[in-house]
Structure 1
Amino acid sequence: MRSNYLFTSESVSEGHPDKVADQISDAIVDLFLSKDPEARIACETLTTTQLVVLAGEIRCKGVYENGAWAPGAQEEIERTVRETVKRIGYEQDGFHWETLRFENNLHAQSAHIAQGVDASGNKDEGAGDQGIMFGYAANDTPDLMPATLYYSHKILETMAADRHSKAAPFLEPDAKSQVTLRYEGSKPVACTAVVVSTQHAKGYDQGDKEAELKAYVKGVVAKVIPADLLSDETVYHINPTGSFEIGGPDGDAGLTGRKIIVDTYGGASPHGGGAFSGKDPTKVDRSAAYITRYLAKNVVAAGLAQRCTIQIAYAIGVAEPLSLYVDTHGTGTVGDDRIEDAIKSLKELGGLTPRGIRTHLGLNKPIYQPTAAYGHFGRKPEGDFFPWEKTDLVDKLKAAL
């Protein structure tokens, strides 16, 4: 493992076209789970100039059964979509929550998928798809996330809060950030570069208004990134193209699931390839990625390693995972194989079956829209939200070793 290097991660704001799509898809997931905790949802969203299109497969008692919509259901879906866009803040000529065109192309779940996933007779609920999923944790930050991604998210979260509160009225919803840190001994010691591109009101690309915007962004960076990491040598690229008035879905089409590195660990960990948003928790792309983050975070929180990557694999329709792999990158205080055995011994995890994961983390609830911007990991667990960020396995893992 290298001890001296530069590493970079990026984030995108809630108004980025792909993130608009993610938030709409997860708003639909929440809507259906609020009606039926056993709903099946695979909702993809396309956003572009004055248009939102939904597509995918669903099954939901009281909403969509036997190939037919319940009275008022489609109207509620459209209302949910428009409310999501309004909450983000899009009231532009090229993308406006009230006047955009909307298409709903959701249809019944494949019977062949259902027969493999649903529990029946002596068969337990199977995984909603085949695939590999990864979880990761590192002691870079208090939330045990890679620092480059953590700061990239926080810059945009702060800017969005200022936009919503009118503290920075010149900001528009679309934005991207990027943070480069120098690591020595696997710890961040300096911020060498920050990139922020933000959609802005007319005129904020020249003269005093441009200077005001750039000064504001540097002030946000100074609030987010610790002072000992910033210096006169930190390079800033703020709206490096010069102008960013046209943005969001009007500037570029958005699709669900195109920001999976932003959603996870900023490139610091492998990614299984499957997106999270728009999927109910029987889809192991989502639920298994959450349980592996949960396990990796607890391993690091327990002091068993400074960094931890966990991989798990499934076959569609099969309940038991095919493999479990732990890698502490040479930082473990015990052998990685012993950590694997300790995880497998924890009965509360239900053998890491899809049902066991959903039950332990309480995933059959409408808790997903908040995950769809600023990362699924490194968030504060509150109430039913972000249960995979809890560190309640620390003592049990230690006892199992």
Structure 2
Amino acid sequence: MVEKVNPSHPDKVADRIAGAIVDLAYKAEKNPKIAAEVLIGHGICHAIIETTAGINKNAVKSAIKRIAGRVKCDIVIVPQDEHLSQNQSKGFRCGDNGIFKGVPLTTEQKQMSKIAKEIYSRYPYDGKYILDEARLIICQSNVKSEELRQRYYYAEVNPLGDWTGSINVDTGATNRKLGSDMADSVTGGGLHGKDLSKADVSVNIYAFLKAQRIGRPVNLCCAIGDDTIDGLPYFEIVRQAKEYIDSIGGFEKFAEWGLF
């Protein structure tokens, strides 16, 4: 069983904005520390950003409007806590306590992701897609249900009929759709709005990718300040996660669909 939401879902809009803010931090510094939370809906976007990087509010505002359109922007940027900054000043160490797992994707989960992306390529509006053992459910806004039923005749399409979605009728917040991002690999940490020193990002990515590579679940735990995880130096975990983020085009692109 798996759920996917597309990049125009309100929660994904929030994730994408948070990712764009992290991209701005990496443009300003080689190894920034940043945590950004975004809440958006009904014409306003709130963004609270804690960072070491010199991020310009106008650049954040521009990113918000590029992704979300005409919304009022409420942006707060504050420096990272001085004790946290000092703890990371001598190199990468685990930025948080946490438990993490990576689980190989099933054939059905991969197919669900493929279907979701195919639908979004035709209808780039708010949508949600669910697959269990017997049912494929497609909820896609801003398109006639009958049109979808003709194309996806094997699915349950818009069970309540046509609808209009996205941030004008709903709210979105960062890291609220982790199942859509990670399938069965969900644990406690959110993927979006944070730099790679944060275990929520780097260890989640590492565990997921390792599980796909070895074909079995990966279970990891860490404490804040750890310099070794899974027998590797923490900086190597970060390097592998950064390589993955770079390969897909950055944190904003990562936020569109998550890890699959």
TM-score, with length taken from structure 2: 0.91
Cα distance in 1 between the residues matched to 2:203 and 2:156: 37
User: Does the 8 Å contact 1:134/1:272 carry over to 2?
Assistant: yes
Structure richer in helix, relative to its length:
2
1:264 aligns with 2:182: yes
1:213 aligns with 2:148: yes
1:251 aligns with 2:169: yes
In the alignment, which of 307, 311, 334 is matched to residue 219 of structure 2? 311
How big is the shift at 1:146?
2.0
| Correspondences of 1:85-100 after superposition (within 5 Å) | 85=68, 97=69, 99-100=70-71
How big is the shift at 1:319?
1.6
| Corresponding residue for residue 80 of structure 1 | 63
User: Does the 8 Å contact 1:116/1:316 carry over to 2?
Assistant: no
Cα distance in 2 between the residues matched to 1:250 and 1:215: 28
| Corresponding residue for residue 359 of structure 1 | 239
Cα distance in 2 between the residues matched to 1:128 and 1:196: 38
| Corresponding residue for residue 276 of structure 1 | 191
User: Does the 8 Å contact 1:43/1:55 carry over to 2?
Assistant: yes
1:118 aligns with 2:118: no
Cα distance in 1 between the residues matched to 2:211 and 2:233: 14
Cα distance in 2 between the residues matched to 1:362 and 1:25: 17
| Corresponding residue for residue 200 of structure 2 | 285
User: Does the 8 Å contact 1:29/1:368 carry over to 2?
Assistant: yes
CA RMSD, 1 decimal = 2.0
Q: Residues 89-136 of structure 1: CA distance to partner in whole angstroms, max 9, x if unpaired? A: xxxxxxxx0x311111121111122222331xxxx4321111111112
| Corresponding residue for residue 238 of structure 1 | 157
Deviation beyond 4 Å, 4+ runs, structure 1: 363-366
| Corresponding residue for residue 177 of structure 1 | 129
User: Does the 8 Å contact 1:128/1:282 carry over to 2?
Assistant: yes
In the alignment, which of 24, 49, 54 is matched to residue 56 of structure 1? 49
How big is the shift at 1:361?
4.6
Q: Which has the higher contact order (CA 8 A, sep 6+)?
A: 2
TM-aligned CA distance change 1:276 to 1:148, over 3 Å:
same
Cα distance in 1 between the residues matched to 2:242 and 2:78: 27
Cα distance in 1 between the residues matched to 2:192 and 2:259: 10
User: Does the 8 Å contact 2:99/2:221 carry over to 1?
Assistant: yes
Cα distance in 1 between the residues matched to 2:58 and 2:103: 40
User: Does the 8 Å contact 1:27/1:84 carry over to 2?
Assistant: no
User: Does the 8 Å contact 2:37/2:173 carry over to 1?
Assistant: yes
Gaps of 5+ in 1: 1-7, 65-72, 86-96, 138-144, 165-172, 182-191, 205-209, 219-233, 301-307, 325-343, 345-350, 378-401
Cα distance in 2 between the residues matched to 1:320 and 1:17: 37
1:162 aligns with 2:122: yes
User: Does the 8 Å contact 2:196/2:242 carry over to 1?
Assistant: no
Aligned with 1:30: secondary structure? helix
Gaps of 5+ in 2: none
| Corresponding residue for residue 153 of structure 1 | 113
| Corresponding residue for residue 109 of structure 1 | 80
| Correspondences of 1:7-46 after superposition (within 5 Å) | 8-46=1-39
| Corresponding residue for residue 371 of structure 1 | 254
1:133 aligns with 2:100: yes
User: Does the 8 Å contact 2:196/2:241 carry over to 1?
Assistant: no
**Number of corresponding residues:** 257
How big is the shift at 1:352?
3.8
Higher radius of gyration, 1 or 2: 1
Cα distance in 1 between the residues matched to 2:138 and 2:242: 36
Cα distance in 1 between the residues matched to 2:170 and 2:107: 29
How big is the shift at 1:53?
1.0
User: Does the 8 Å contact 2:21/2:60 carry over to 1?
Assistant: yes
Aligned with 2:257: secondary structure? coil
How big is the shift at 1:281?
0.3
| Corresponding residue for residue 142 of structure 2 | 200
Aligned with 1:133: secondary structure? strand
TM-aligned CA distance change 1:118 to 1:311, over 3 Å:
farther
